[in-house]
Amino acid sequence: MPSPAPAPLLLTLAGHDPTGGAGLTTDLAAWQAMGCRGASVCTALTVQNAQGVQQVVPTGVPVLRAALAALTAEGQPVAVKVGMLGEADVAAEVAAFCAAFTDGPVVWDPVLAASAGGVPLLQAGAGALAAMARAATVITPNRVEAAQLLGLPAWSDGGAMPPGWLAAIRAQWLGQGRTQAVVLKGGHAQGPHSVDWLLTRDGAQAFAVPRLARGAHGTGCLYAAVLAAMLAQGWSVADAVVEAQWRTHAGIAQAWRAAPEARPLVNPAAVLDSGSFPRHPAPGGLPQTDAPAFAPLAAPPGFYPILPGADWALRVLDWGARTLQLRIKDLQGAALRADIARVAEAARQAGAQLFVNDHWREALDAGAYGVHLGQEDLLLADLAALRAAGMRLGVSTHTPGEMARAHALGPSYIALGPVYPTTLKVMPYRPLGLQRLADWVARCRPRYPTVAIGGISLERAPGVMAAGADGYAVVSAVTQAADPQAAVRRGLAIAQQAQDCRAAAG
């Protein structure tokens, strides 16, 4: 039997930290945790610990060049992450290599100094740094590094970006070479939340996580390594930023410490949950970190049929479904309002959780239990009015960025998908599969119940529930079934069995 093909290769060009808390050691550990394959070329050896950096010995350029040649002779990486460079000659050599690399993204984390102080980690002139910036597709400085490199005034608060910053970054970085994005990390700023800014030629987006009481060594390395891996896998820069922020926050919260007097080392393999959930608002401003959450569900969603009309919904209610979605596409005006009101009243009488898809005004008027909105509909709905009325909110998500946008609203549940390919609607997203579904479900806990969506049949439902979802949505499994009532009974039994198993497991 032939051996499976190896995973695509990622390359880190970074320094070596003897404590294992930063540099290429952290990069490789992060990629291993993400299921990626990593290679490394060392740009400098350092002597450092909790007392700071005592010595930096850059790699000789001939050795660096030979190492890169040896690596690329075996196969080309699909992404490059650049960290500590040490000196001008090394920076120039790395910049030349990255400029010639066209097989994937180049992420540059411009490491200038260690947080513990000591000898600078980079001593290079403006020419070498400018060449490195032009060769990078994404640059990930913290605010201190950006201010030093670009000659900008200090910016340490958690508020809006100071005047001049965006213009300077566009002129000096985004307007040069092939740089497509700059991510300004907010870990060195102040305030209750750490706010990262994604800057492109088209605008600025903010991402926020609660600031932790302590820091950890190696966070910048972890952040940039995760970003590079996500870009190599085809995710957008916004999705990559969310993933990097999520893993870095969790890595700080679960940091390692070898001894009481040692500095905390970021944990690249930290478990992700809702405590590290980033917030990413719709374009236009800072995340509302103090917005109240929507009301919680009264019961786990379990079996969650999506029905195309009132008659279907009423039948399924009679057959025992207690969480359902009404998705009406072919009515408007008075007929639409009448059907939503009719189903909402029946659901109230049955004690059921009825979610109305898209038509939030009509759902609000009818006093429905909740609404379910897609990402585009979030921009149009009066969320404050829905929240004030005590209605529940479900949000569809398909990427890390969309999950972070949902979290910014504090919904009642988050829908994750598509789990499998679906023929019911055109989906520009890759199917999650059960492994990624289980990962994303775990990230939503303990704060959010989850509903799995997309391509789920009753045959696939047990596996979906075993992956940890709190509910699963079906469409054709009911509406196209030879015996819809029997299908509903089976769907309810699958959900109940999964819930019983979880209760028994504690």
Report the catalytic residues: 327, 396, 425
- Short-list 470, 453, 462, 77, CA closest to 300: 470
* DSSP secondary structure letter of residue 58: E
Q: Name residue 312's amino acid.
A: W
Instruction: Produce one character per residue of 257-271: b if its CB has 16 or more CB atoms within 10 Å, e if not.
Output: eeeeeebbbbbbebe
CA-to-CA dists, residue 380 to 285, 292, 421, 469, angstroms:
17, 19, 28, 28
Distance separating alpha carbons of residues 81 and 14, to the nearest angstrom: 8
For residues 343 and 316, the answer to whether their CB atoms sit within 8 Å is no
Nearest to 220 by CA among 258, 192, 194: 194
Closest C-alpha to 442, from 467, 461, 419, 417 = 467
Residue found by looking up tokens 């972890």 in the block: 222
Hey, which residues does 206 pair with through a beta bridge? 197
The structure tokens listed for 12 are 């880190």
What's the CA gap between 194 and 158, in Å, rounded?
A: 7
140: its two tokens:
């990930």
Alpha-carbon distance 96 to 65, whole Å? 10
CA distance 95 to 101: 10
CB 122 within 8 A of CB 85: yes
